[in-house]
């Protein structure tokens, strides 16, 4: 196994007690908030496996909500996240699920406000690292560690090459890319992680392409 830094081995700077159950959970919550694009009014958090069994003792509940409040893993406000969520008017509900999942540290987060909703599934894979494995029923793999763009598009010829050609034009190197679709010819989603920051003009150019219906930008 290759490590990018010592933090891949010893874990992130964090509010404890667990890198997987606390730091990883906070990162999943924060990525969910980023994908939602704003602080949600309501969050329904469904916990599976080890998360469901130990979430209170390991601080998984406050960590996820802290992430939804845009707190980083080391933010000293995380232990008070449930109280702070109430103060800003965020309705938080936890659901303990008995369903067996592919990974023991799995959470589904449903976010809502007056006009929008988002459904995210994430897993904490150890050492504070995470993967987002599902977004609005699209299967994907998103680490949340690199600048990334998610592109929802019609499953049409040339849609993918149109986006990658724009990234090449601006010399953005693709580190990871995958495409998920619900059925042939219907809606699809590109997940593209790159090595450099994605500027506003790149996003606008991608959004101007035919068959592109939505873009979501994530930053490291």
Percent of the chain with pLDDT over 90: 65
Q: Is residue 141 part of a domain?
A: no
Q: Which of 136, 161, 194 is the last residue of a domain?
A: 136
Residues 100 and 25 in one domain: yes
Q: Is residue 6 part of a domain?
A: no
CA distance 119 to 117: 7
Contact 105, 1 (CB under 8 A): no
Domain count, the chain: 2
Q: Is residue 143 part of a domain?
A: no
Task: Tell me the CATH number at 22.
Answer: 3.30.1330.90
Contact 135, 148 (CB under 8 A): no
Predicted TM-score (pTM) of the model is 0.81
Residues 97 and 188 in one domain: no
Please give the pLDDT value at position 218: 83
Residues 180 and 123 in one domain: no
Mean pLDDT, residues 16-28? 76
Q: Is residue 2 part of a domain?
A: no
Task: Tell me the CATH number at 162.
Answer: 3.30.70.260
Please give the pLDDT value at position 10: 38
For the cut 80, the answer to whether the pLDDT of residue 137 exceeds it is yes
CA distance 110 to 95: 11
Residues 155 and 108 in one domain: no
Residues 116 and 21 in one domain: yes
Residues 125 and 166 in one domain: no
Average pLDDT taken over every residue of the chain = 88
Residues 56 and 121 in one domain: yes
Assign 20 a pLDDT band (cuts: 50, 70, 90). Answer: low
DSSP the chain: ---SSTHHHH--S-SSS-IIIIIHHHHHHHHHHHHHTS--SEEEEEEEHHHHHHTTTTTHHHHHHHHHTT--TT-TTGGGHHHHHHHTT-EEEEEE-----SSSEEEEEEEE-SS-EEEEEEEEEETTEEEEEEETTEEEEE-SSS-EEEEEEE--TTHHHHHHHHHHHTTPPEEEEEEEESSTTSEEEEEEEESS---HHHHHHHHTSTTEEEEEEE--
CA distance 40 to 160: 31
Q: pLDDT tens-digit profile of 46-87?
A: 999 988 888 888 789 999 999 999 999 889 999 999 999 999
Please give the pLDDT value at position 19: 58
Residues 50 and 157 in one domain: no
Q: Is residue 8 part of a domain?
A: no
Q: Is residue 85 part of a domain?
A: yes
Q: pLDDT tens-digit profile of 149-193?
A: 999 999 999 999 999 999 999 999 999 999 998 888 899 999 999
CA distance 51 to 106: 7
Q: Is residue 5 part of a domain?
A: no
Residues 25 and 93 in one domain: yes
Please give the pLDDT value at position 80: 95
Residues 46 and 75 in one domain: yes
Q: Is residue 4 part of a domain?
A: no
Beta-ladder partners of 122? 107, 132
Residue 165: domain span: 148-218
CA distance 12 to 7: 6
Residues 33 and 128 in one domain: yes
Mean pLDDT, residues 126-140? 89
Q: Which of 81, 109, 136 is the last residue of a domain?
A: 136
Residues 98 and 182 in one domain: no
Q: Which of 136, 157, 183 is the last residue of a domain?
A: 136
């Amino acid at each position: 196994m290759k490590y990018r830094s010592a933090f891949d081995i010893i874990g992130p700077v964090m509010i404890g007690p667990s890198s997987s159950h606390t730091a990883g959970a906070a990162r999943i919550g924060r990525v969910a908030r980023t994908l939602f694009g704003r602080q949600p009014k309501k969050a329904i958090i469904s916990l599976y496996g080890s998360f469901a069994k130990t979430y209170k003792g390991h601080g998984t509940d406050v960590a996820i909500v802290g992430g939804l409040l845009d707190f980083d893993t080391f933010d000293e406000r995380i232990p008070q996240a449930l109280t702070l969520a109430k103060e800003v008017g965020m309705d938080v509900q936890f659901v303990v699920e008995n369903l067996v999942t592919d990974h023991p540290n799995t959470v589904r987060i449903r976010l809502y406000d007056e006009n929008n909703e988002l459904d995210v599934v994430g897993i904490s894979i150890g050492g504070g690292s995470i993967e987002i494995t599902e977004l609005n029923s699209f299967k994907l793999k998103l680490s949340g560690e690199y600048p990334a763009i998610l592109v929802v598009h019609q499953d049409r010829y040339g849609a993918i090459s149109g986006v990658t050609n724009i990234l090449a034009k601006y010399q953005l190197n693709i580190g990871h890319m995958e495409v998920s679709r619900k059925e042939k010819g219907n809606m699809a989603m590109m997940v593209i992680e790159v090595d450099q920051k994605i500027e506003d003009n790149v996003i606008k150019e991608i959004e101007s392409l035919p068959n592109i219906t939505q873009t979501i930008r994530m930053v490291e």
